[in-house]
């Protein structure tokens, strides 16, 4: 994802090779059975001047096809690992942050005081194609970042600097009344796991951070317990300033419900326009937030569902928004307008494999969800994993996008057939796109759009 692989940007602001590094779909082929997008990418994007299209590192379109043969539906995470955020790295790599849900929620939900998870603060690095961990076979290392005892929450990756930004705090207990301490963002190298920096929020009663989003101008963090957005400004090229510090943006118009405020966030590459969810036990309403002014307004959603209760993290592909709804174990799909102020509910991606997944991310034709396994917290049966759901090829069944099927063809075609109004809008939009673009190209188009 270089900037989560889906931020809006203009190609004239990027060197072609930066775009290549920023987009993992151009660094390796899509899952088996799907067409390669490389042949359809213009030369000004690939930098190709003849012969087989160059992807990156000398790979060609032909070799990209060859690598897409495994792509497991389930990737097991280490024992006693309690996941929160999931994010893409370079190529087919992914990262998952280690929290401590058992100690945080145990007293409230189970009446049990659990110790802090032994893997709190760890970051697991794996490969979506092989299903293997980056350090499988190394008896002395399991994680990219070893456990610290301090829970991590959301995280985001910046390919410009190979940096992972993760929300961090000291261990706490929900509902205890005790203030959260040492809350902020910790920065790690995505290759070595080396700690680069840690920036704390200057607040004795720290916010409960949730979503993290890297943009061109800075790193944004949402707070679940207040209508404040936190921004960590970045310098040119994504570099941290010599003395990094947070800016606070008060989101006027953002309404908290039941004490719950901002959870997942997504938005434009420049960071000026964000989509933020009043999630979990909140209203489930999506808000458009202008980060230059803090003005926030409810996004008007058309269709059968206008709010997304129990939602947490978001994933944005082009203008298609995916919402992880934790309590219902499904992913809601919304087609947003170009300015992110309106949208149309498309349907739900459903799968019996999803189990309290707080966070999702997309790669090619797939959505990947990090299962939390809530009801087995603190037990010997606790096991978490990353599961794959179909994103672009799915059957419409009663308003639901049924996962784990590839027979129905293009996702956009299915949407067009089921929602004529949305279909007309998409048809008009698609008419202006290169004719050869296939069903796995929506992520790429995110980088080509005006």
Delineate the domains of the chain, giving CATH numbers in brackets.
Answer: 74-402 (2.120.10.30)
Average pLDDT, the chain: 78
Which structure tokens are listed for 106?
Answer: 């145990």
Which structure tokens are listed for 236?
Answer: 């040119």
Q: How many CB atoms lie within 10 A of CB 313?
A: 29
Residue 106 is given by DSSP the state I
Q: What does the pLDDT read at residue 68?
A: 44
Average pLDDT over residues 361-385: 93
**Cβ pair 345, 304 in contact under 8 A:** yes
Q: What does the pLDDT read at residue 55?
A: 25
Highest mean pLDDT (candidates 157-166, 399-408, 419-428): 157-166
Q: How many CB atoms lie within 10 A of CB 241?
A: 11
Q: What is the value of pTM for the model shown? A: 0.76
**Cβ pair 251, 229 in contact under 8 A:** yes
Run of H or E including 24: none
Q: What does the pLDDT read at residue 109?
A: 87
Residue 396 pLDDT > 70, yes or no? no
Which structure tokens are listed for 242?
Answer: 């010599």
Average pLDDT over residues 30-37: 35
Residue 417 pLDDT > 60, yes or no? no
**Cβ pair 90, 21 in contact under 8 A:** yes
């Amino acid at each position: 994802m270089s900037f989560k692989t889906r931020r809006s940007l203009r190609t004239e602001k990027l060197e072609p090779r930066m775009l290549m590094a920023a987009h993992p779909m151009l660094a390796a082929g899509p899952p088996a059975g799907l067409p390669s997008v490389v042949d359809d990418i213009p030369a000004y994007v690939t930098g190709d001047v003849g012969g087989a299209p160059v992807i990156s590192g000398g790979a060609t379109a032909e070799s990209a096809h060859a690598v897409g043969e495994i792509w497991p539906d389930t990737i097991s995470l280490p024992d006693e690992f309690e996941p929160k955020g999931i994010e893409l790295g370079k190529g087919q790599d992914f990262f998952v942050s280690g929290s401590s849900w058992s100690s945080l929620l145990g007293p409230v939900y189970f009446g049990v005081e659990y110790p802090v998870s032994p893997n709190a603060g760890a970051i697991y690095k794996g490969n979506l194609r092989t299903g293997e961990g980056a350090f499988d076979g190394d008896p002395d290392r399991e994680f990219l970042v070893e456990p610290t005892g301090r829970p991590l929450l959301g995280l985001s990756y910046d390919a410009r600097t190979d940096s992972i930004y993760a929300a961090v705090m000291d261990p706490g207990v929900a509902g205890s009344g005790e203030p959260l301490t040492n809350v902020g963002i910790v920065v790690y190298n995505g290759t070595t796991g080396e700690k680069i920096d840690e920036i704390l929020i200057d607040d004795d009663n720290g916010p409960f951070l949730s979503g993290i989003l890297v943009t061109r101008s800075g790193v944004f963090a949402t707070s679940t317990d207040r209508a404040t957005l936190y921004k960590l400004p970045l310098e040119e090229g994504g570099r941290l300033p010599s003395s990094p510090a947070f800016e606070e943006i008060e989101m006027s118009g953002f309404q908290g419900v039941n004490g719950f405020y901002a959870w997942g966030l997504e938005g434009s590459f420049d960071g000026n326009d964000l989509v933020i969810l009043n999630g979990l036990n909140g209203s489930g309403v999506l808000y458009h937030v202008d980060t230059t002014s803090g003005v926030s307004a409810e996004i008007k959603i058309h269709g059968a569902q206008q709010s997304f209760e129990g939602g947490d993290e978001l994933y944005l592909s082009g203008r298609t928004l995916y919402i992880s709804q934790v309590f219902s174990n499904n992913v809601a799909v919304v087609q947003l307008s170009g300015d992110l102020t309106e949208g149309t509910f498309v349907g739900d991606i459903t799968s019996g494999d999803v189990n309290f997944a707080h966070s999702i991310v997309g790669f090619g034709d797939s959505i990947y969800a990090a299962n939390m396994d809530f009801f087995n917290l603190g037990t010997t049966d606790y096991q978490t994993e990353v599961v794959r759901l179909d994103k672009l090829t799915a059957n419409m069944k009663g308003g639901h996008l049924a996962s784990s099927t590839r027979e129905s063809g293009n996702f956009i075609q299915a949407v067009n057939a089921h929602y004529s109004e949305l279909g007309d809008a998409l048809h008009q939009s698609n008419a202006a796109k290169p004719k050869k673009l296939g069903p796995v190209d929506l992520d790429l188009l995110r980088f080509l759009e005006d």
